[in-house]
Structure 1
Amino acid sequence: MPDAGRRAVDPRRAPLDRGHVALSLGGRRVELRLLRDRAHYDVLVQRVLAGARVSVWIATANVKELRVEAPVGSRARAKGRYVSLLEVLQGLSQRGVELRLLHAGVPSRAFREELARCEELRGGGLAMRQCPRVHLKMIAVDGAALYLGSANLTGAGLGAKGEGRRNFEAGILTDDDVLLDEMQEAFDRIWSGRECKGCRVRDVCPAPLDGIGKPSAKAAAKKPAGNVRSRLPRGPRSSKGGA
């Protein structure tokens, strides 16, 4: 019997190794890795995100320019330099990785300036959509790895800031199929505008997502339906020589 005053350890929740736990969720075994503070950069950004092959979906409240160590093997890395995360994303886009960024706030000026220098991303390689109700922090990579936690897409949250300057953050990383399916569906519902219909802050939304790709009511009212000229009845032709 366990000692009095001590809770018996559920073997399904026993740690697999440092930072890893397994638990029972809905009758199935789910493995999670706890990420704290600097691990967001070392594990999530440098290993998981940078290694994407198919897709990267990011949801964040705030968007700011953030710096990461230059790629291994590059001259910049040999010189100990740091580059914008957007350069890393541009490299992924050039390899055919789909990039989506769902955010609430207006991106910082530094982020916008860096984005303007990334021709591949500016030309459609990075799809960005804004919803003021987005407060979730999520990164899904290749439909195979899912991060949920506190970190925004900022230097203090995910970047290479020093220990005394970065935010205190916590989150989990998992490859659980059920959680991946549920959160990617939640992301896509917002992204595609399927959550807009019942939204009660629509009047302050800069651009409701259910209107993307559709003409505005004002533009639709001005635009004639079809070729009006071809439908107008022709009047009698004037006789030769005029009246």
Structure 2
Amino acid sequence: MVLGNLKTKYMTRNDCYTANRKITPKGIMVHSTATPGVMAGSWFSRWNKSFKAGEINRQVCVHAFLDDKEIWQYLPWNHRGWHAGGAANNTHIGFEICEPSGFSYSGGANMVGYDVKKNESYFRAAWQNAINLCVYLCKEYCLTEKDIIGHAEGHRQGIASNHADPLHWFPRHGESMDTFRAAVKKALEGNQKPSPSTSQKLYRVQIGAYSVKANAEAQLERAKKAGFSDAFIKYD
């Protein structure tokens, strides 16, 4: 599977990248940014900095950001990210869904002034990009929709810090992590190629059986002249 809107630009200045710790991905964690209006490509300049050098006040880095148009990969997928605030960093690929502009936050995860109708088209496009990325990663690392969780779910499982995302946002558009996983499952099943044994039944036609090879060859020649170019002799 190829993601046509996937762009790669590693945050080589970030301490997470230079730590160069690797993981075997066992799952995917979905985040959302809680930073209205900052799109995927803008996070490079924000986070491609060193905490050790005093260039940034956070030790954080995710594998990718996405919005309604693009997916930007900022860490190798098998690189240990700093996104979960817990043990999920050792097992999960993490990506952030960027949130649209036009609202603010108050009291933690409370979205003030968020216009669902106005932002529906943005949400649907970003939602689809997130599904596409998960399908891509599932195929790459032999995962299923069951291996996908949100940050809030990770906290409930004891493997991530106490964040509400993306469950403070998805329900406003009638979605949840369950419906997200269902959409990924549907996409995975739709992309599967049926095996030869189940895709099509073949009915074979035999036009003769001969004890003398010359007679079989003569019949084969007649069949080919009649237009059956794929005819052949099988010897039992």
TM-score tier, shorter chain, comes to under 0.3
TM-score (structure 2 length as normaliser): 0.27
